[in-house]
Structure 1
Amino acid sequence: MPIDVEKGFHKGTLFTCVLAITAQSVMNLIILPTMPFMVKYYIPDVDISEVGYYSGFILSLYYLGQIPGCIFWGWYADQHGRKKALLIITLFNVICTSGLGISSNYYLTLVIRLIHGFADGALNVTKTMIAEISNERNLPLGTSFVFLGAALGRLLGPVLGGYLSHPENFSTLTSHFPILLSHPFLLPFGISAFMFVFVAVSLLLFSEETISEEEMTTSRECKAEMKREISGILRKGSKDYINSHEQLLLQYHKYSKYSSILKERDVLLTVLLYLLLSLCQMAFDSLFSPVLANKKIYGGFEMSSEEISLILMVASPIALVTILYSPSLRKLFTYRRTLMINALGIAFCMFIYPIESLFNQYNKTVVFTVVIVIFCIVVVSNVSYKEFRGTIMAFAWFCSCRVLRCFPFSTDGAATRTISLFIMILGLVILLAAVIIHFLTDVCDKGRGSITSTIVHSNK
Structure 2
Amino acid sequence: MADAEIPLLDEEKSFSGSVEGCPGCKAILIVRENHGFPKKLLFIVANMMLCNSLPIAVIFPFLYFMVQDFHVTKSDADIGYFAGWIGSSFMAGRALTGILWGTIADKYGRKPVIFCGIMSIIVFNTLFGLSKSFWMALTTRFLLGTFNGLLGTMTAYATEICSEEHVPFSVSLVGSMWGVGLILGPALGGYLSQPAIKYPGVFAGTIFDSYPYFLQALVITIYAVMVLAQLAQLPETLHKHEVFANDGKAGAYDPKESLLRNFPLISSILVYCIWAFHDIAFSETFSLWAVSPKRTGGLGWTSTDVGQALALSGLALLFFQLVIFPSLTRLFGPILLTRAVTALSIPLLVLLPSLTSLEDTWLRVVVTVIAILKCCLGVSILSMIHGTVWLRVCISTQRGAANGLSLSVVSLFRALGPAVGGSVFAFAQTRPHASILPGDQLLFFFLGATAFISVLSTFPPFLPQSTNKPIIEDDF
TM-score, normalization by structure 1: 0.82
Matched, 1:294 2:292: yes
Alignment-derived partner of residue 418 in structure 1 = 442
1:377 aligns with 2:405: no
Aligned match of 2:250 = 248
CA distance in structure 1 between the partners assigned to 2:170 and 2:318 by the alignment: 13
Distance 2:471 2:168 in 1: 11
Which whole-Å deviations, capped at 9, do the CAs of 1:129-177 have from their partners, x for residues lacking one? Answer: 22223455433332222232122222222222112112224446536x8
Please identify, of 275-284 and 302-311, the stretch whose mean Cα deviation from structure 2 is larger. 275-284
**Structure 1 vs Structure 2: percent identity of aligned residues?**
21
Specify whether residues 419 and 136 from structure 1 end up closer, same or farther in structure 2 by C-alpha distance, changes over 3 A only.
farther
For residue 147 of structure 2, what is the amino acid of its counterpart?
A: A
Question: 1:273 and 1:45 mapped to 2: Cα distance?
Answer: 35
CA distance in 2: counterparts of 1:425 and 1:61, whole angstroms: 24
Structure-1 residue corresponding to 2:351 = 355
How far is the alpha carbon of 1:309 from its aligned partner? 1.1
State the match for 2:401 in structure 1: 391
The residue number in structure 1 matching 2:465 is 439
Matching of residue 338 in structure 1 with residue 338 in structure 2: no
Q: What is the aligned residue count?
A: 414
- Name the residue aligned to 1:198: 226
Q: Distance in 1 between matches of 2:471 and 2:67?
A: 45
**1:332 CA displacement:** 4.4
Q: State the one-letter code of the partner of 1:419.
A: L
Tell me the distance in 2 between the aligned counterparts of 1:87 and 1:298.
Answer: 45
Aligned residue runs from structure 1 range 235-274, under 5 A: 248-249=250-251, 251=253, 254-256=254-256, 261-274=259-272
1:84 positional shift: 2.6
User: What's the CA shift string for 1:189-216, capped at 9, x where partnerless?
Assistant: 11111121122122223x333x24xx24
2:134 is aligned with 1:106: yes
Shift of the alpha carbon at 1:56? 0.1
Residue 423 (structure 1) shift = 1.7
Return the offset for 1:46: 4.4
The answer to whether the 8 Å contact 1:339/1:374 transfers is no
Specify the code of the residue in structure 2 equivalent to 1:174.
F
CA distance in 1, matches of 2:310, 2:138: 24
Give the AA of the match of 1:403: F
CA apart distance, 1:118: 0.7
Correspondence for 2:453:
429
**Structure 1 CA distance for aligned equivalents of residues 337 and 162 of structure 2:** 23
Work out whether residues 274 and 454 of structure 2, in 8 Å CA contact, stay in contact via their aligned partners in 1. yes
Alignment map for 1:180-219 (pairs within 5 Å): 180-205=208-233, 207-209=234-236, 211-212=237-238, 215-218=239-242
Partner of residue 118 from structure 1, selected from 146, 149, 159 = 146
Q: Is the 8 A contact 1:19 1:199 kept in 2?
A: yes
Structure 1 CA distance for aligned equivalents of residues 408 and 299 of structure 2: 34
CA offset at residue 250 of structure 1?
Answer: 5.6
Determine the structure 2 residue equivalent to 1:283: 281
For the pair 1:51 / 2:84, whether they are aligned, the reply is: no
The aligned amino acid for 1:377 is H
* Contact 1:384/1:448 (8 A) holds in 2: no
2:412 is the counterpart of 1:402: yes
**CA shift for structure 1 position 265:** 1.7
1:326-373, Cα deviation, whole Å (9 max, x unpaired): 44345546xxx2243134223322332232222223434221322313
Name stretches of at least 5 consecutive residues in structure 2 with no aligned partner: 1-25, 432-438
Distance in structure 1 (CA, Å) of the matches to 2:208 and 2:291: 24
Q: Give the conservation status (yes or no) of the 8 Å contact 2:330–2:470.
A: no
Q: Distance in 2 between matches of 1:93 and 1:38?
A: 20
One of 27, 32, 49 as aligned partner of 1:2: 27
CA distance in 2, matches of 1:309, 1:446: 36
Corresponding residue SS for 1:33:
coil
Alpha-carbon distance change, 146 to 250 in structure 1, aligned in 2, over 3 angstroms: closer
Distance of 2:334 and 2:154 partners within structure 1: 22
Q: Is residue 350–residue 426 contact of structure 1 (8 Å, CA) maintained in 2? A: no
Q: How far apart, in 2, do the equivalents of 1:447 and 1:413 lie?
A: 54
Comparing 405-414 with 102-111, which one deviates more in the overlay? 405-414
Residue 62 of structure 2 aligns to a residue whose secondary structure is helix
Please state how far the C-alpha of 1:399 moved relative to its aligned partner.
1.3
Q: 1:340 to 1:396 in 2, by over 3 A?
A: farther
Given that 1:141 and 1:327 are in contact with CA atoms closer than 8 Å, whether structure 2 keeps it comes out as no
Q: Which residue of 1 aligns with 2:10?
A: none
Q: 1:191 to 1:283 in 2, by over 3 A?
A: same
- Cα distance in 2 for partners of 1:70, 1:127 equals 13
Q: Contact 2:242/2:250 (CA < 8 Å) preserved in 1?
A: no
Contact 2:342–2:452 at 8 Å: present in 1 too? Answer: no
Cα 1:143–1:428 change in 2 (3 A) is: same
Q: Classify 1:347/1:78 alpha carbon distance in 2 versus 1 (closer, same or farther; 3 Å).
A: farther
Stretch deviating more after TM superposition (411-420 or 78-87):
411-420
Gaps of 5+ in 1: 223-243, 451-460
Tell me by how many angstroms 1:107 deviates.
Answer: 0.5
Deviation by residue 1:415-438 (Cα, 9 ceiling, x = unmatched): 633112112112212212321444
Question: For 1:374, what is the secondary structure of its paired residue?
Answer: helix
Structure 2 distance, partners of 1:137, 1:16, is 20
Shift, 1:96, TM fit: 0.7
**Residues of 1 paired with 2:287 and 2:468: CA distance?**
39
Q: 2:203 aligns with which of 171, 174, 178?
A: 174
CA distance in structure 2 between the aligned counterparts of 1:55 and 1:119, rounded to whole angstroms: 22
- Taking structure 2 as the reference length, what is the TM-score of the superposition? 0.79
Aligned mates of 1:17, 1:179 — CA distance in 2: 33
CA contact (8 A) 1:383 1:444 kept: no
C-alpha RMSD of matched pairs (Å): 2.8
Partners of 1:122 and 1:192 in 2: CA distance:
16
The offset of 1:113, in angstroms, is 1.2
Q: CA deviation at 1:108?
A: 1.1
> Aligned partners of 2:468, 2:126: CA distance in 1, in Å?
45
